[in-house]
Amino acid sequence: MTGLQTAFYIVALVYMGLMFVLFIALLVAVLVIKKKITAAHQLIEDKVGQVRAVKDKVNLVYRTMRHFVKP
């Protein structure tokens, strides 16, 4: 092989190696971001559930009071 051909092979191997590393880094970044978004979604769902539970308790107290105090 000539020197120019060898240089092109080396450049191609380095390029493919760097692209592979960048692809793996991008994949890891996407998975980490997805995990954080899922955790935030679960936290929000828990908080909404707590608010709904409080609302249901207040509604129960209101209906009970309404039952005993007839207008």
- Encoding tokens for residue 66? 């309404």
Q: What average pLDDT does this structure show over 30-45? A: 97
- Could you give the 3-state DSSP secondary structure of residue 70? coil
Q: CA 29 → CA 25, 41, 61, distances in Å? A: 6, 18, 48
Whole-prediction pTM value? 0.66
Report pLDDT digits (tens) over 11-36.
999 999 999 999 999 999 999 999 99
- The angle at the Cα of 58, spanning 53 to 60, to the nearest 5 degrees, equals 95
Long-range contacts of range 2-6, CB-CB < 8 Å, 24 or more positions apart?
Answer: none
Q: Could you say which DSSP state residue 71 is in?
A: -
Report pLDDT digits (tens) over 45-66.
999 999 999 999 999 999 989 8
